[in-house]
Amino acid sequence: WLLRTIELYHFNAVRDFIDYRASQYSDLNDVKQRIKANLPPTFSDQEKTAFRADVERTTTVVEAMELYLGFLGRASFDRVFPS
């Protein structure tokens, strides 16, 4: 019960955080391009290739942004998608 409650809290907090940015950046292709252009050069080629493939499979702005936030954290997210 506790783990499920924590997971639901996290899910809702992430979605609440992303919703405003998703309304500002509503073009999925633009969001995907921003994400793919802002991967740290220190990441391995394999890691970048796999992440880019994951991004390409997303079908909504919220899904793509959530993936980027989870992978690179808030500082990177705020830089790529300023409010």
- Looking at residue 23, its pLDDT comes to 96
- Looking at residue 53, its pLDDT comes to 97
Angle of helix 28-37 relative to helix 61-80, nearest 10 degrees, comes to 50
pLDDT tens-digit map of 1-11: 999 999 999 99
What is the spatial distance between Cα 29 and Cα 21, in angstroms, rounded to a whole number? 15
This prediction has a pTM of 0.91
Read off the DSSP letter of residue 1. -
Low-confidence residues of the chain, pLDDT below 70?
A: none
